[in-house]
Amino acid sequence: MRVVVAGGGMIGLAVARLLGQRGIEPVVLERRPVGPPPTHPFMLGYHGYPAVEDMGVMDEVRSLGWDVSDGARSIGVSMSFLDFVEIVGRGVPVEHEHTIVDLVRADGRVVGVLVDGPDGRTTVESDLVIAADGVRSRVRDMAGIESRDESRGEGGFAFVSPSVIDRPFAMRFTSDGGVVIGVGWPTGSAGWWTIDKIGREAAMAPGIDAFKAAYAALLPEAAGAVEGLTSWEQVHYGEPMVLTCPRWWVPGVVAIGDAAHFFSPETGASGGLGLGDAHALAEAIVRNPDDADGACAMFAAWREPIVRPLEAADPSRAQRRAAAGGGARRPEEHWPPLTASSGSGEDGPPRRA
Domain count along the chain: 2
Give me the residues paired with residue 120 across strands.
Answer: 117
146 CB burial (10 A radius; 0-12, 13-18, 19+): exposed
SS3 assignment for 197-265: CCCHHHHHCCCHHHHHHHHHHHCHHHHHHHHHCCCHHHEEEECCEEEECCCCEECCEEECHHHCEECCH
pLDDT for the residue 325: 61
Q: What is the pLDDT along the chain (353 residues), one digit of tens a residue?
A: 999 999 999 999 999 999 999 999 999 999 999 998 888 899 999 999 999 999 999 999 999 999 999 889 999 999 999 999 999 999 999 999 999 999 999 999 999 999 999 999 999 999 999 999 999 999 999 999 999 988 777 899 999 999 999 999 999 988 877 899 999 999 999 999 999 899 999 999 999 999 999 999 999 999 999 999 999 999 999 988 889 999 999 999 999 999 999 987 767 778 999 999 999 999 999 999 999 999 999 999 999 999 999 888 876 655 666 666 666 778 889 999 987 443 333 333 444 44
Residues 7 and 137 in one domain: yes
Predicted pLDDT of residue 115: 98
Q: Last residue of a domain, which of 196, 218, 238?
A: 238
Q: Which of 211, 238, 265 is the last residue of a domain?
A: 238
- The pLDDT value recorded for residue 322 is 63
| Whether 205 and 97 share a structural domain | no
pTM value is: 0.92
CATH of the domain at 32: 3.50.50.60
Q: Which residues make Cβ contacts (< 8 Å) with residue 63, sequence separation at least 6?
A: none
Please tell me what DSSP assigns to residue 48.
Answer: G
In a domain, 192, yes or no: yes
Residue 76 CB contacts under 8 Å (≥ 6 apart), including other chains: 43, 44, 45, 46, 67, 68, 168, 169, 268, 272
Whether 111 and 211 map to the same domain: the answer is: no
Residues 249 and 234 occupy one common structural domain = no
Rg (CA), the chain: 22
Residues 255 and 197 in one domain: no
* Domain span including residue 181: 153-238
Would you state the pLDDT for residue 288?
98
262 shares a domain with 214: no
pLDDT of residue 312: 85
For residues 164 and 184, the answer to whether their CB atoms sit within 8 Å is yes
Residues 131 and 263 in one domain: yes
Indicate whether 245 and 258 sit together in one domain.
yes
Residues 175 and 35 in one domain: no
Same domain, 135 and 284: yes
pLDDT attached to residue 342: 34
Give a yes or no: residue 21 inside a domain: yes
The verdict on residue 334 lying in a domain is: no
- Decide: residue 338, CB within 10 A, 0-12 exposed, 13-18 middle, 19+ buried: middle
**In this predicted structure, what is the pLDDT of residue 156?**
93
Residue 131 and residue 90 in one domain: yes
Asked if residues 165 and 189 have their Cβ atoms less than 8 Å apart, the reply is yes
Residue 27 in domain: yes
Same domain for 245 and 117: yes
Burial of 310 (0-12, 13-18, 19+ CB in 10 A): middle
